[in-house]
Amino acid sequence: MSRELRDAFGCFATGVAVVTTRYKDEDIGMTCSSFNSVSLDPAMALWNIQKDAASLEAFHKSGGYTISVLSASQGDLAMRFTQGEQAERFAGLDDQRAASGRVIMPDCIAWFDCDLHQIIEAGDHDILLANIKDYGCTKHGAGLIFERSQFGSTQLSKVA
Ligand SMILES: Cc1cc2nc3c(=O)[nH]c(=O)nc-3n(C[C@H](O)[C@H](O)[C@H](O)COP(=O)(O)O)c2cc1C
């Protein structure tokens, strides 16, 4: 069931983001494809964290997170934030930070700086619902897409 369900979920193409926080004076980050918009007024967003993530406590207790939406050319950066020690993930990156002090990924196409609003337990994940405090985006630039366990990029056409 689980393998097949994972494959079925994988048919839903998503963007790819790196979500960061700061906890006990350390930068924490991981790659996430579960980011989504929730509400325009008030501005709200969410993502889901697996309950066995090493950074679960940090994302629960730090009070907020910053989402960086990756560009089509940032597959390597996405993979870097899925493995290794936290310090290695951030090593050598430009130190660009939101007003909250959390890291924004260099050359991302959009970012959202969020205060944690509610943690909703949902099976083997927790939904981290947040209020967006600040954000920015580029006018152009294709996003990194994740579909069927592969990275790709968008091919845009006008919505009729
Ligand atoms: C494309 C992609 C999307 C991912 N999306 C999520 C996600 O939404 N939530 C999550 O908990 N893990 C997600 N992961 C897995 C985490 O990035 C990975 O398990 C990471 O090592 C967790 O870091 P930590 O265990 O050090 O906290 C994703 C991985 C990839 C490659």
Kindly report the protein residue whose alpha carbon is nearest to atom 9 of ligand 1.
Answer: 49
Structure tokens at 26: 């350390």
* Ligand 1 pocket: which of 16, 23, 31, 77 to mutate (most atoms within 8 A of CB): 31
Residues with CB under 6 A from ligand 1: 16, 30-34, 47-50, 53-55, 78, 82-83, 146
Point out the ligand 1 atom lying closest to the alpha carbon of residue 151: 1
What residues contact 108, with CB distance under 8 A and at least 6 apart? Answer: 17, 18, 68, 69, 70, 71, 74
Across 16-20, average pLDDT: 98
d(CA 45, CA 127): 10
Is the pLDDT reported for residue 144 higher than 70?
A: yes
Instruction: Evaluate whether 78 touches 31 at the Cβ level (below 8 Å).
Output: yes
Is the pLDDT reported for residue 1 higher than 70?
A: no
Domain ranges of the chain: 2-153
Tell me what pLDDT residue 93 has: 97
> pLDDT tens digits for 84-102?
999 999 999 999 999 999 9
pTM over 0.95: yes
What dotted CATH number matches 2-153? Answer: 2.30.110.10
Kindly report the protein residue whose alpha carbon is nearest to atom 28 of ligand 1.
Answer: 32
Closest residue by Cα to residue 67 from 108, 96, 23: 108
